[in-house]
Structure 1
Amino acid sequence: MAKLRFLYGSANNLRGSIPSSIGNLSSLEVVYLSWNYLGGSLPRALVQLTKLSALVLPLNKLSSTVPPSLFNLSSLEIFEVGYNQIHGNLPTTIGFGLTNLQYFNIASNQFVGSIPPWIPNNATKLRIFQLSRNKLFGKVPSLESLRNLQQLNIQMNRLGSGGSGDLKFLCSLTNITSFAMLSVAGNRLGGLLPRCIGNFSIAIKQLFLGGNLITGEIPREINNFVNLEILAMEYNSFSGAIPIDLGNLQNLAILGLSYNNLFGVIPFSLQKMKQLLKLKLSGNQFHGHIPSHLDNCSLMELDLSNNNLSGSILPVVKTLIYLDLSNNHLSGALPVEVGEIDHLDTLNISGNMFSGEIPSTLGDCNALVVLVMKDNHFQGSIPQSISSLRSVEELDLSNNNLSGEIPKFLAAFDFLEFLNLSYNNFEGIATFIAGNNKICGGILEFRLPKCVSRHSKGKGIVHKLKLLLSIIFGLLGVVLVLIFVYVCWLKKKKAQEPTSSSVPESWPNLSYGTLLKATNGFSSTNLIGVGSFGSIYRGILQESGTNVAVKVLNLMRHGAFKSFKAECEALKFIKHRNLLKILTVCSGIDYNGNDFKAFKWLHPCPLPADVDGPSKILNLIQRIKITIDIAFALEYLHNQCHNTIVYCDLKPSNVLLDAEMVGHVGDFGLAKFVLESTSYTNTNISSAALRGTIGYFAPEYGMGSGVSIEGDVCSYGILMLEMFTGISPTTEIFKENFNLHNFVEEALPKRVLDITDPILVQVVESNAGQSRKSTIQNCLLMIYKIGFACSVGVPRDRMSITDVTAQLCSIRDRLYAAGLGGYELY
C-alpha cells in the first residue's frame, strides 16, 4: 500500500506490537491507533515516514522508550502517546527538528528527568502541551517562545523544590494571547504566587494550582480573569483573606480553596457568581456567618467544613447535591426548608451546635445517600418521615440528645451500610451479638465469657490442646456422617422443588395472574414501548391500586436472558432519584406453559409522544425539568457511581414520569461498566444490539466503536431536541446524511420558533407579551444549542453532562425569575 496516507484503527481490540514494516508505507501522513491493546515499543521504522504529521497512540499498553530520532521528524504536528507505560527520559540533545509540532501529549506514562529546553525553544507552534502524571522533576523552563500555546498541563509530577523561584516560569506565559488552561497541580512548586499572573490573557478559563507548597496571599490580580471558569488552589499554604473582588469572576463554575491557611469572613461578593456550581472552602480558618444569599448561585456542591463559622444560617440552595458544613460552630434549628433541596445526595452537619428536633421535611430529600448529623444537640425522636430515605447508605445520628424508640423502618433500608445511633437517650433497645466467637467481657447481661490475659492463657494452653484434640477426633466421624446425610437430603429436596428465581424477601410476591389482571391481559392499549428483548406495559395492581410498569422479557429472542442479567448487574450498584427501581421480579410459567419473566417498576407515565389527549401534553417548564432529571441520572451513572456506567439505550420509551412529573430513567439491559483508565468500555457494541434505538445512538457506534459516556451524551442531545421540536429522529424526512441534528443546525439562530413543537408555539404566541416572548425564545435557543452541542459527530467535542445540568438549571431559573414558571406556559 505504497499510496496509503491515512490509517485509522482506534477503539478496537488490536493486540500485539506495531510492526516495523509500517516504515514501508512511505506516503503515510496520519496514524490513529488509540484505545486498543497494542504493546511493545514504538518501532524505530517510524522515522522513515518523512510525511507523517500525526501519530496518535494513547490508551494502549506501549512500553519501553521512545526512539530518540523520532523527535527529529520535522513533518510531525501531533504526537500523542498518553495513557501507556512508556518510560525513560525526554531527550535533551535532539528534538530540534520538531518545528511544526502543535500537539504534544505524553500524559500518564512513566517518563523521568527534566523538561528539555528544546521543546519551548524550537516547537514554537505548540498549542497543547500535556506532560501530566509522569515522574518529571526539576525546574519548569521559560515558555515565552510558545506564543500559540492554549493549554499547559504538567500536573502530578515532581517538579519544583519548594523554593521561592519555582513559579518564575509563570511570568513567561503573560504575553500569550490564546492561553486558556494551566494546570500545575500535584507538584512540589513553592514560593509566592507571582503577581505577574494578572497579565495572563483574559481568555484563560481554567487555572489549577492545587496540591503544591505555594505560600502568601491570593493575588488580587486574579480578579482580571473575567472568563475564568475553574479556579482550583486547594492543598497549599495560602494565607490571608479571600480578595473581596473575587466575586467579579461571574463566569466561575468551580472555586476550590480548601485546606490552606485562609482566614477572615467569606465575602458576600461570592453570591454574585451566578454560574458557580462548586464552592470548596473546607479546612481553613474562616469565621463569621455563611453568606445568606448563596441561593443566587447554581450551586451543586458546597463544602465549608472544618472552619470556625458560626450563626444559625443554613444555606438552602435547591440545586445542591452535596452539602458539608461539619466541624464548625453553627447553631440553632435545622430549617424546614432543607426538604426543598430535591436532589441532595450528601448532607453532613456533624460537629456543630444545632439543636431542636430533626425536621420532618428532611424526609423529602429522598435522594439522600449520606446523612451525618452526629455531635450536635438534636432532641426528640427520629421523625417517621425519615422512612422515605430508602437510598441511604450512611446514617449517623450519634452523640445527640435524641430519645424515644429506634424506628422499625430502619430495617427496610436495603442499602444501609453504616448506622450509628450511639450516645443518645433511646429506649427499648434490644442488642444481639450472637455469632461473634471472639468477643469476651462486657456487661453481665451479655453473658459473655471472661476475658483472659495472654499470660494466663499460656499456662493452660498445653492442657487445653490435648483436651481439644481428643474431642475433635471423637466428633470428626460423627460430623462427616451427618454432613453426608444432609447433602443427600438437600439434593432430593431441591429436585422436588419447582424452579424459581431468587427474590429478596422484602419484594412483593406476585403471580403471573396478578400481572395479567393489572395490565388487562397485557392489552395493546396498555403498551408503553417495545424494545429489543421485550415489551413494557402500564398497569394497576388491583389490591393496592398502585400504578406500575411491567417489563416482560421475550425469552425466545436470542440475548434476552443475557440482557436480563446485565440489567440486574447494573441495578445492584445504582440508586438515584431519577433512576427507576425494580419493585419485584416475577419468574415462572404463563397459562400456556411457557417460561415467563417480568420486571415491575413503580409509577409509570410515558413521554408525550406516546400519550393521546391534550390533558397529557407537557408544558415548557415540565419539559425543561424532565431534561434536567434525565441529565441528573446520567451525571450519576457517569461520575458518581463506584464504577462508571454507560447507559447505552437512552430514548423516550426508557424515560418514565411519576405522578409529580419527575423523570426516571429505566431499562438497563444494554448498560455497560467502564474501565477506570478510559471513558470507553473495552468491548465493542454490535449493530444488532442497537436496532431498537436507531436514530438515538451515537454515530461512532455504527462504525463499531466501543460504547462511551460521550455516546450517552449524544443520545441525550437527540432526545432533548426531540422533546422541544416534537419531531422524532426516525421520521421519514430524515434520510441519508440529513438528521434531527442537521435540521436544528439549519434553523439556528433565527428560526427558533419555526422548529419548536407547534403546541408550545401556539400558547407562547397567544399568552405571552413581547418581553416574555423574547425571554422564551432566548431560552429555547439556549436549549437547542445544548442539544446540538451534545449530539455533534466528534465524541470529544460533545458537551459534558455536568455542564448540561448546570446550564439547564440556569435556563429553568431564568424562566422562573421572569415569572414564567407557571403551568399555563405550554
Structure 2
Amino acid sequence: MQPSSYLVFSPSNMSSHLLCLFFFLFTSNAVASALGNESDHLALIKFKDSISSDPFGVLSTWNSSTHFCNWQGVKCGSKHQRVTKLTLDLYNLQGSISPYVGNLSFLRVLSLQLNNFHGHVPQTISRLFRLRALALYSNNLVGEFPIGATNCSKLKTLMLDHNHFSGHIPVEIGFLGNLERLFLVSNNFSGPIPLSMWNLSSLVLLSAAYNNLEGNIPDEIGHLKDLVNISLGVNKMSGKIPHSLYNLSSLSVLTLSFNQLEGSLPSNMFSNLSNLRIIELAGNQFSGPIPTSITTAFGLQEVDFSINNFVGQVPNLGSLRNLSVLDLGTNDFGGNSSINEWEFIKSLINCSKLQEFGFEYNNFVGHLPNFIGNLSTKISQLAFGGNQISEQIPTELGNLVNLISLTMENNHLTESIPTSFGNFQKLQYLDMNSNKFSGEIPAIIGNLSQLSELDLSHNMLNGNIPSAIGNCKRLQSLDFSYNNLSGIIPSQVFEIPSLSILLNISHNSLSGSLPSEIGLLKSIGTLDVSENHLSNKIPEAIGECESLEYLYLQGNSFHGIIPPSLASLKGLQHLDLSQNQLSGTIPQELQNISVLVYFNASFNMLEGEVPMNGVFRNTTELSYHLQLCFFFCFHQFLHSFLEEEDKEKHLYNATNEKVPRVSYQNLYNATNGFSNENLIGSGGYSSVYKAILDSAEEVVAVKVLNLQLKGAHKSFTAECNALRNIRHRNLAKIVTCCSSVDYKGNDFKALVYEYMSNGSLDKWLHPNRESSNKLRTLNLPQRLQVIMGIACALHYLHYECEQPVIHCDLKPSNVLLEDNMDAQVSDFGLARLIPVVDGNSQNQTSTSGIKGTIGYAPPEYGTSSQVSIEGDIYSFGILVLEMLTGKIPTEEMFKDGCSLHNYVRDACPDNILEIVDTTLLSLIGEEIQAPTGVEENNHIENEGHLQSNVENCLFSLFKIGLACSVDSPRERMNMMEVNRELNIIKNNFHA
C-alpha cells in the first residue's frame, strides 16, 4: 500500500488523476481571480470615496448596477477581468488620490490629467509593478517627487508637469530603466539634476522647463543616445554645455533658454546633430561666435540665439533650406566695417521658408544691402532696430509683401521713406522712430490699410501730413512727433475711427486751427498737439472725445476761452493748456471731472476765481498754487497725483473687505526690478510680470500699466470698478492693487492677480514657437471646457451681478487658463457697468466709440457710440469659431466681404470637418486613449459611436458660434440660451 500522501499513476487511473489535477488548478485560478476582482472593486470604491467634487458626474456610473469593468474611465483585461487602465482626464475632479489605488495590481495606465487632485501622491503606487504610464499632468499635487513611482520599473511615461511638486529630483529615478518620456514642466523642483538620470538609456524626451533647477549639465548626458527632445528652459542651470551633448545624433529639439549658461560654443558643435530641428539658447550668457558647423545642420527650422553675448560675423546660413525662424537680436554681432558683414543676409535668400528674422540691437553698421529685398516673401516679421545702420533704406525692401511687423527704430537711417513701402498691404506694425529720415511722408502710406501702429517720431520729416493717412482705417496708434512737419492738420486724421491708443503730432511746425472734426475721435485716449503753431479757438467739439485721458495743447497760440465742453471728458486725468493766449476764467464745470489729477494753465491770460468744489476742493488729490502771468492772475495746477490710500479705497473684494496694500517697492523687489526675466506678457496698456510677494509668499501676476499710453489710466479705473464687487470661478482673481509713484516720481499703477501658469488661451490656440510641444495643443474636451467656462463668466457678468458688466474686449489673449485648464476671463480695462433704472438694467450704455479689438468687436460698434451685452455675445461667437477653426478673424483670407462667420456658415453642415483646426483633428482619435506609445495593442472601442459624438459636438458648437456672431444684435443668442445648449452638448459628448 502506497502512502496516502502520494499519487500513483497507472494506465488505469492516470486519466482520472489528470482530470482531478486540472480541476484543482482551474478552481484555484478562479478563486484567485475572484479575490483579485473583489480587491479591484474595493480599490475603485475607495478611490471614489476620496473624490470631494465631481462636477461632470463622471463617477455616477460607479455603482452596483454595473460591473466595475464597465464604469466610466475603467478598462479591464479580457482574461482575468482585472483593472488594467484607469483614465479620468479633464473632468475637474477634486479630492485626493486614494492610497487604495496601489491595490490595482494589474494596472498599466493611471491617467488623472487636468483635474484638481490635491495633496501628495500615495506611496502605495510603488506596488504597481505592471505600470507603464503615470500621467498626473495639471493638478494641484504637492510634496516632493513621488518616490514610490521609482519602484515601477516598467514605467515608460511619467507626467508630473504643471503641479506644485518641490524639492530635489531623487537619485532613485535611476531605477526607471525603461523610462522613455519624462515631463516635469512648471513645478518647483530645485537643486541639481541627479547623475542617475543620465543613466536612463531609454529616455527619448526630457522636459523640465519652468522650475528652479540649478547646477551644471553633466557630461553624462551623452549616455542618452536615444534622446530626441531636451527642454530645460527657464531654470537656473549654469556652467557650459558639455561636449558630449553634441554627439547626441538623435536630438531634434534643444531648448535651454533663460538660464545662466555661459561660455563659447565649439566650432564643430553641429557636426553630429544631423536631426536637430529647433535650438533655443536665448536669455543666457553665451559668448564667442556662432559655430561655423551650423551650416551643416540642414534640418534646422528654428534658431533663437537672442539676448546673449555672441560676437563676430554671422555665418552664411543659406544651406538651412528649412529655416523658418532666425532670431539673433540683442547680442554683439557686427561692428567690423573692414569686412562685409551683410553676406549672411545674402545667403538667407536660399531659405525660402523663412518667416521671422530679427537681428535688432547689435552692432551692424553701414548701408542695408539691396539684396535684403530678395529674402523669402513668406517673411512676416523683420526687426533690425537698435543698430548703427545708416544711409537710405533700399527700395527693394518693398518686395517683402507679406510683412506684418517691420521695425528699424534707433538707427542712423537717412533720406526719404521709399515709395515701395506702399507694397506692404499686410503690414500692421511699422516703427521707424529715432532715425534721420527726411523729405515728406509719402502719400503711399495710405495704402497700408492694415496698419494698427505707425511710429515715425524723432526724425527730420517735413512737408504736410498727407491726407491719405485717413485710408488707414485700422490705426490705433499714430506718432509723428518731433519732426519738421508744417501746414494744417488734415481733417482726415480725425476721421480714423479706430484711433484709440495715441495721436501724437507734437513738436512740429503745424499751423492753422484744430479742426472741429476732432470730435470724431470718440475712442482716443491720448491726444498731443503741443509745441506747434496752432491758433484760433479750441473747438467745442473736443468735448466729444469721450475716452480722452491725456490732452496736451500747450505751446501753441490758442486764444479765446477754455471750452466748457471739456467738462464732458469724465475720464480726463491730465490737461495741459499752458503757454497759449487763452483768456476768461477757468470753467466751473471742470470741477465735475472727478479723476483729474494734473491741470496746467500757466502762461495764459486767464482771470477770475478758481473753482472751489469737486476735485478742486480736495487738495490731497489735486494740488495747485497761485502764479502771476503777464498782468493777469491765474492758477496753475501741476505735478499732482492720487495718494495711494485715496485710490485704493475704491477697490474692494467680494466680501467688501479692503484688499491688502502693496507698495511700489514691494512690487519692484518681487519682480527683480520689473526685469525681462519675469516678463510673461504685454498688451495695449500694460506689461505683466511674474512675482512672488513677500507678504503672502505666493506666485502672482503683476499687471503694470504703461501710463504713457492713451487709455492706461482709464483702463486702471475701469478694471478697478469692474472687479471691486464681482467674484466668479471663471473670472480672473485679483489679489491687490497699487497706485503710487515710482523711484523717479512718476505715476505708477498696477493690479496684482493670481498667477495662471498655463498662460492665455491665445498661446494654446496659436502656439507659434511652442508648436514643437504637443502639450501646447487643446483637444476637443478641453476646448469644450474652456468655452463653457467663458460662457459661465459672461452669464454671471450679464445677469448675476448687482450692476451688469459688459466686458467689451473678449478675445483669446484675455482668457487665462488655470492649472486644471478652466478658463478665467481677464483684462477688464475696457469694461463698462450698465446703469440700472427702476430696477431694470438697460440694454445699452453710453461708451466711447469703437471698443475692443478689431475682428472681435461687433460691427455695430463701428457706427454707434454705445456698447451692449449683445456686443459681448458677438465677441464670444467669434472666439468660439476661432477655437474650432484655428483661424484668427483678421487673417488675410477674411476680406472683400468674407469673414470668419461667413467662412464657417458656408461650410456648415456638410463640410465642417474641412474647416476644423488641423491640430484639433489630429487629436480627435486620441481623446480617450492612453498617452502615445504606452500600449500599442489598446484600441478604441465603439469607434463609430465616438466619431458620431465628435461630429455632433463640433456641429453643435459651430451652430452656437454662428448664432452668437450674426450681424444683427437682436438675432444673437443670449448667454442663458448658450449655457443651456452647452450643457446639452457636454452631456451628449460624454454619453
Q: Which TM-score applies when normalising by structure 2?
A: 0.50
Q: Find the partner of 1:318 among 497, 507, 514.
A: 497
Matches within 5 A, 1:169-248: 169-248=344-423
Deviation at 1:726, TM superposition (A): 9.2
1:456-471 alignment runs, 5 A limit: none
RMSD: 5.1
Equivalent of residue 873 in structure 2, options 714, 719, 723: 723
Measured after TM superposition, the shift of residue 412 of structure 1 is 5.8
Matches within 5 A, 1:576-591: 576=714, 580=718
Structure 1 Cα separation of the partners of residues 704 and 269 of structure 2? 51
Which whole-Å CA distance do the structure 2 matches of 1:145 and 1:163 have between them? 25
How far does residue 32 in structure 1 lie from its aligned partner after superposition? 1.7
Query: Closer, same or farther in 2 for the Cα pair 1:285/1:743, shift >3 Å?
Result: closer
Match among 807, 815, 826 for residue 665 of structure 1: 807
Displacement of 1:421 in angstroms is 2.4
Matches within 5 A, 1:90-129: 90-120=265-295, 122-129=296-303
Identify the range of structure 1 (327-336 vs 412-421) with the bigger mean alpha-carbon deviation: 412-421
SS at match of 1:174: helix
Return closer, same or farther for 1:115/1:405 CA change in 2, 3 Å cut-off: same
Distance 1:741 1:87 in 2: 45
Tell me how far apart the structure 2 counterparts of residues 190 and 242 of structure 1 sit (CA, whole Å): 19
Q: CA deviation at 1:647?
A: 10
Equivalent runs, 1:145-164 vs 2, <5 Å: 145-161=319-335, 163=337
| Alignment CA distance shift 1:366-1:45 (3 Å) | farther
Matched, 1:133 2:307: yes
> Does the 8 Å contact 2:701/2:754 carry over to 1?
no
**How far apart, CA to CA, are the structure 1 residues paired with 2:421 and 2:336?**
27
Partner of 2:54: none
* Cα pair 2:705 2:716 within 8 Å, conserved: no
Amino acid at match of 1:232: T
Residue 406 of structure 1 is matched in structure 2 by 586
CA distance in 2, matches of 1:652, 1:584: 13
Residue 21 of structure 1 deviates from its aligned partner by: 1.8
Go from structure 1 to structure 2 and tell me whether the alpha carbon gap of 1:318 and 1:26 turns closer, same or farther (over 3 Å shift).
same
> Which amino acid in the other structure matches residue 9 of structure 1?
L
Partner of 1:328: 508
Per-residue deviation, 1:388: 3.9
Secondary structure, in 3 states, of the residue corresponding to 1:21? helix
**What do residues 78-118 of structure 1 show as CA deviations (whole Å, max 9, x unaligned)?**
11111222222222354421121111111111112221212
Match 2:542 to one of 338, 362, 387: 362
- 2:521 maps to which of 341, 348, 355: 341
Change (3 A) 1:692 1:50: closer
Give the match's secondary structure for 1:86: strand
Classify the secondary structure of the residue corresponding to 2:260.
coil
1:380 alignment partner, one of 560, 582, 586: 560
The answer to whether the 8 Å contact 2:232/2:255 transfers is yes
The 1-side partners of 2:576 and 2:591 are apart by 15
Quote how far apart the aligned CAs of 1:275 are: 0.9
Query: Per-residue displacement from partner, 1:571-626 (whole Å, max 9, x unpaired)?
Result: 999754698466699xxxxxxxxxxxx8499xxxxxxxxxxxxxxxxxxxxxxxxx
Q: Are residue 260 (structure 1) and residue 385 (structure 2) matched?
A: no
TM-score, length basis structure 1: 0.59
CA distance in structure 2 between the aligned counterparts of 1:99 and 1:774, rounded to whole angstroms: 43
**Residue 13 in 1 paired to residue 155 in 2?**
no
User: d(CA) in 1 for partners of 2:292 and 2:651?
Assistant: 69
Aligned partner letter, 1:364: E
State the AA in 2 paired with 1:378: F
CA distance in 1, matches of 2:381, 2:878: 38
Q: 1:17 to 1:249 in 2, by over 3 A?
A: same
Q: Structure 1: 5+ residue runs without aligned partners? A: 436-440, 444-501, 513-561, 586-597, 602-639, 669-673, 694-711, 730-739, 750-770, 795-819
- Aligned amino acid, residue 112 of structure 1: S
Q: CA deviation at 1:54?
A: 1.0
Residues 550 and 575, structure 2, Cα contact 8 Å, conserved in 1: yes
Aligned pair in 2 of structure 1 residues 666, 78: CA closer, same or farther (>3 Å)?
A: same
Asked if the contact 2:254–2:278 (Cα under 8 Å) also holds between the matched residues in 1, the reply is: yes
Note the C-alpha offset of 1:790.
Answer: 14
The 8 Å contact of residues 705 and 750 in structure 2, kept in 1 or not, is answered as: no
> What amino acid is aligned across from residue 723 of structure 1 in structure 2?
I
Deviations 1:313-349 (A, max 9, x none): 2412111121111111111222222232233222111
- 1:455 match: none
CA contact (8 A) 2:377 2:400 kept: yes
Distance in 2, matches of 1:29 and 1:186, equals 37
> CA 1:78 to 1:667, structure 2 compared with 1: closer, same or farther past 3 Å?
closer
Identity of aligned residues (%): 32
- Quote how far apart the aligned CAs of 1:143 are: 1.3
Q: Does 1:305 align with 2:481?
A: yes
For 1:337-382, what per-residue CA distance to the aligned partner results, in whole angstroms no more than 9, with x for missing partners?
Answer: 2232233222111111112222233233333333222111122333
**Whole-angstrom CA distance in 2 between matches of 1:349 and 1:222:** 32
Instruction: Give the direction of change, closer, same or farther, for the CA distance of 1:98–1:429 in structure 2 (3 Å limit).
Output: farther
Q: Of the candidates 787, 794, 805, which is equivalent to residue 652 of structure 1?
A: 794
The answer to whether the Cα contact below 8 Å between 2:871 and 2:969 also exists between their aligned partners in 1 is: no
Contact 1:358 1:382 (8 Å CA) reproduced: yes
Q: How does 1:512-527 map to 2 (within 5 A)?
A: none
Partner of 2:177 in structure 1?
Answer: 2
Q: Is the 8 A contact 1:507 1:584 kept in 2?
A: no
Residues 807 and 872 of structure 2 are in contact (CA less than 8 Å); yes or no, is this contact kept in structure 1? no
The amino acid of 2:498's aligned partner reads T
Q: Is the 8 A contact 2:282 2:305 kept in 1?
A: yes
Q: Which amino acid aligns with 1:145?
A: S
Q: Give the match's secondary structure for 2:385.
A: coil
Gaps of 5+ in 2: 1-175, 611-615, 621-625, 629-644, 656-695, 728-747, 757-788, 826-851, 858-868, 890-895, 923-965, 973-991
Report the Cα offset of residue 387 of structure 1.
Answer: 2.8
Relative to 1, partners in 2 of residues 1:167 and 1:656: Cα closer, same or farther, differing over 3 Å?
farther
Q: Could you tell me whether the CA contact under 8 Å between 1:503 and 1:584 is conserved in 2?
A: no
Shift of 1:781: 7.4
